[in-house]
A and B are shown apart, each in its own frame.
Chain A
Amino acid sequence: MRFKIGKYKSLLVFAVVSLIIMGLSYNMAGAQDFRNSALAYNLMVLVPEECEVLDTSPGVLADVEFQRDKFGNISDKTNINLMATNVYAGAHAEFRITAQNVSDITLSVDEYKLEFEQSEDSLADLIYFSGIVKIIRYGEQYYDELGSFENVSLTELDDNLTAILKYRKIDLKEKIVLELNQQFDNDQAKFAGRTNLSYRLFPVFVQYFPQNDKTTPESE
């Protein structure tokens, strides 16, 4: 069985061109969205006054940092830096990160993604995470706990957060609170030659589309 490429040449060309245009438009729109998100339009933003260090071991220096302009004002509420220095075996640092839906649509988390560099001096396999994810309804003081996790490794962190938040509706003005504890391995010997770690965790928010859970009655 043989196909003659000549017959499908135009189809192939159109398919390739359409894919290229689709990729280009996606990238252009993504770039535009990125530019907008840093300036004015965002779906979710961090709430700086509700992002803080909750607890640390003695001697551990921890802080939350935002990008600021030359006047000291926070210029970008979509980036947060969780700093922890002077960590040691058995130490921990706990943070609270609060983000709010500031758009005029209901949102959901598509997924959490994680990036980190695995090098010889990395602490990546010596850190464990525990955390609680809460949602605070607009105008309410109380929260609902969406889920929690304990002692998960760095490589499992994004999956655990995705599992808790995927398909959860985030209504207008609602806040998502993540209380994240970074706990370091208790074995001092493992720390020899391990000096640092940096990782990037980024949730991807999308418009919420309710799942159709109404079962259609069977026709008799």
Chain B
Amino acid sequence: MYIRTIFIVLIVALGLFGASYASWTQQFNILSAISTGSLNVDIVDAVLESSDSHKSISFSAHKEGNVVDEVDMNVVTASNPFSAVMVFAVENNGTIPVICVGIDQSVPDNLEVEILESPPLIDVGETESVKVRITKGYCDDFEFSAFLEFEQYNAVN
């Protein structure tokens, strides 16, 4: 009989202990949701700024929608090599700031492409100019592709 009473008291006591412990504690939540941005840069315009002497020159930027898809330049010149400076209007349509870090080097050897000027930062929604010079020896009906390379703006660098 004694033992039964002791057990009942113990059960009640332990139950109360559990209840009181739960009642005198509290937690709150600090939730954090983090997501990365997206990088999306479009060339929205291209113009010829200057070139070596020539007999005739034409320059046109073909667009697909609002994005420059291809640039045609027809030159008749005695300059050898011939160089021209083009200005590309670059629009940051992503969600993070970007910088232009260079131009693709996989162009043919006898063609030189270099970036003359580029902004230190292209903020989201902003349009900035990137100035590029190409230099080429004698050629006829020459086609090439070059890619401007952009990276996220790194806050630390």
Evaluate contact between A89 and B18: CB separation under 8 angstroms.
Answer: no
Within 8 A of A (CB), among B1-41: 7, 10-11, 14-37
Q: How many residues of A contact B (CB 8 A)?
A: 64
**How far, in Å, is A169 (CB) from chain B's closest CB?**
15
List, in ascending order, chain B residues with CB within 8 A of A135's CB. none
Query: CA A206 – CA B15 in complex, angstroms?
Result: 19
Which of A139-147, A197-205, A211-219 is found at the contact surface with chain B? Answer: A197-205
B123 touches A59 (CB 8 A): yes
How near does chain A come to B22, taking the closest CB pair, in angstroms? 4
Across the interface, do B153 and A59 meet the contact criterion of CB distance under 8 Å?
Answer: yes
Known: A59-B123, A59-B124. A198 touches B31 (CB 8 A): yes
CA distance A84 to B16 in the complex (A): 43
Complex CA distance for A179 and B3, rounded to whole angstroms: 56
B17, B34, B121: the one contacting A127 at CB < 8 Å is B34
Q: Which of B14, B20, B28 is in CB contact (< 8 Å) with A79?
A: B28
Q: Are A37 and B15 interface neighbours, CB within 8 A?
A: no
CB of B32 within 8 A of CB of A86, answer no
Residues on B with beta carbons closer than 8 Å to the beta carbon of A81: 31-33
Does B53 belong to the interface (CB within 8 Å)?
no
Main secondary structure of the interface of B (DSSP, over half): mixed
Complex CA–CA separation, A14 to B157 (angstroms)? 67
Q: How many angstroms between the C-alpha atoms of A42 and B27 in the bound complex?
A: 9
Write out the residue numbers on chain A whose beta carbons fall within 8 Å of the beta carbon of B27: 78, 113, 202-205
B83 within 8 A of A: no
A86 to B94, CA, bound (A): 10
Q: Does A53 contact B (CB under 8 A)?
A: no
Q: A43-B26, A90-B154, A204-B26 given; name 9 further pairs at CB < 8 Å.
A: A18-B7, A21-B11, A22-B15, A25-B19, A33-B23, A59-B97, A88-B152, A198-B34, A206-B24
